[in-house]
Structure 1
Amino acid sequence: MIVSEIFRSLQGEGKNQGRPCTFIRLAGCNLRCAWCDTPYARKGGKEMSVAQILDLIWLQNGKHICITGGEPLLWAEEVLELLRKFDIHGYNVEIETNGTLDFREMQAYASICMDVKCPSSGEKSNLALLRHITPRDSVKFVVADENDLLYARAVMAHYEIQGEVFISPVEGADYRAIAEYIVEEDLPVRFQVQLHKILGVK
C-alpha cells in the first residue's frame, strides 16, 4: 500500500480528541472535496508492506492508532491485515473514512468515524452506510454554512444514527454562527473545532 505519512500527535477531532495518537495516513482518495485539508495525501507516498508499517509502529509509544487518508479503505485488504495484528497486541484503533466504502468488515477490530460529506464539499457519501454505525463508532459533518447545517439536520432526521455525532466547522467558517444554530435548534450533536489546527500541529 502507499503510505503518505506516519506520525505522532494529538488526535485533533472526533471522540478521542486531545489524546496522544499514532497516525497512519494512507495515500489516495476517491473524492475531491472542495475544502480538503490534506490534498497531498491524494497523490504519492511511500510504498510499504504491512510488515514494514508494523515495524515502525512497534517503535512508537502509545497504544492508540488512527488510520486515515486520503481514503484508507481504498486499501481495505491491507488495512484489515493491519487491524488483525493491532488487535492481537492490544491496540485501540480508529478509522477515519469518507463514507463511500463499506467499512463493516473493519468494525470487529476498529471504531469507525464516518465523515458525511455536506453540500459545500462538492461530494456525497453513501448515506446507507449510516445504518451500520454502532455506539462504538461516530459520525462527523464538516460544515461551512447554514445550508450544510440544514443538510446535516435532514440526514439525522432520516437516519437513526447509533454513534455520537459531531459538527465540525470548515476552517475559516463562522464558528459562532454554527454554534448558535446548534444551540437554537438543539441538535443532538457535539460541536467541535479541530484542535490540531488551533495548536498548529498535524
Structure 2
Amino acid sequence: MKISEIFTSLQGEGKNQGKPCLFIRLSGCNLACRWCDTAYAQEGGTEVSCEAILEQCWRENPRLVCITGGEPLLQKDALLSLLPSLHKRGTIVDIETNGTIAFTDVQPYASVCMDVKCPSSGETSDLSLLRTIRPEDSVKFVVGNREDCEYAHRVMDSYAIAGEIFFSPVYGADYKPLVDYILRNNLPVRFQVQLHKVLGVK
C-alpha cells in the first residue's frame, strides 16, 4: 500500500471533528482540485505492508482512524485487507473519498465521507454515488463562493442524501456570503471550518 504519511492529530472536520485520531494518508489521486491542500499526496509515497500498518495501529491503539489521501479508494483492494482487522478490533474507521469510485464494499467496515466536488474545484464527482450514502455516512461540499453554494443546493434538491451534510469553506475564503446563503435558504447543513487549521496543527 502506497502511504504518504501516518500521524496522530485531532480530527479537523466531519462528524468526528475534535476527536483524537490516527490518520493514514494514502498516496495517489485521480483528481487535481484547484484548492487542494494535500497536493504532496497526489503522487509518490512509500510502500508499506498492511501488516506493518496494523502493527502501528495496535501500538498506538487509537479509538478513531481516518483513512484519507489523495484518494484512498484507488487502493481499495489493499484497504479491503486492512479494514476487517480494524473493524474486528472495534476501531472506529472513517474513509474520506472524492466521490469518483464506488464505496459500497468498504461500508461494512467504515463510515464514508463523500466530498462532492463543486465548480471552484475544477473537478466533478459521480453524483450517482450519493444514493449509496447511509445515515452513518456523510457528505461534504467544499465551498468557496456563491456558485459553489448554488451547485450544492441543486445537488441536495436532486438527491435524497441519507447522511449528514457539511458545508466546509475553502481555506481563506470569505465566510460571510457562504453563511448568508445557508441561512437565507434554510439549508439542512452544518457549516464547519477546518479545526486543525484554526488550531495550527497537522
Give the alignment's TM-score, normalised by structure 1.
0.99
1:51 and 2:51 aligned:
yes
Whichever residue aligns with residue 13 of structure 1, its letter is E
Q: Give runs of aligned pairs for residues 74-93 of structure 1, distance below 5 A.
A: 74-93=74-93
The one-character-per-residue Cα deviations of 1:12-51 (angstroms, maximum 9, x if unpaired) are 0000000000000000000000000000001211100100
The one-character-per-residue Cα deviations of 1:105-128 (angstroms, maximum 9, x if unpaired) are 000010000000000000000000
The one-character-per-residue Cα deviations of 1:135-189 (angstroms, maximum 9, x if unpaired) are 0000000001000000000000000000000000001111121111111110110
Distance 1:36 1:107 in 2: 25
RMSD over aligned CA atoms reads: 0.7
Secondary structure of the residue aligned to 2:128 is helix
Q: Give runs of aligned pairs for residues 27-38 of structure 1, distance below 5 A.
A: 27-38=27-38
Secondary structure of the residue aligned to 2:60 is coil
Moved over 3 A (4+): none
Greater alpha carbon shift after TM alignment, 47-56 vs 24-33 = 47-56
- Give the deviation of 1:56 after TM superposition: 1.2
Distance 1:58 1:99 in 2: 30
Greater alpha carbon shift after TM alignment, 123-132 vs 44-53 = 44-53
Q: Give runs of aligned pairs for residues 145-160 of structure 1, distance below 5 A.
A: 145-160=145-160
- Give the deviation of 1:61 after TM superposition: 3.8
Identity of aligned residues (%): 61
Q: Residue in 1 aligned with 2:70?
A: 70
Distance 1:98 1:114 in 2: 6
Q: Residue in 2 aligned with 1:121?
A: 121
Q: Residue in 2 aligned with 1:26?
A: 26
Residue-pair matches, total: 202
Q: Residue in 2 aligned with 1:166?
A: 166
Greater alpha carbon shift after TM alignment, 92-101 vs 38-47 = 38-47
Whichever residue aligns with residue 79 of structure 1, its letter is L
Whichever residue aligns with residue 45 of structure 2, its letter is G
Question: Where in structure 1 are there 5+ consecutive unaligned residues?
Answer: none
Secondary structure of the residue aligned to 1:104 is coil
Q: Residue in 1 aligned with 2:4?
A: 4
Distance 1:74 1:130 in 2: 18
Q: Residue in 1 aligned with 2:112?
A: 112
Distance 2:9 2:80 in 1: 23
Distance 1:188 1:2 in 2: 37
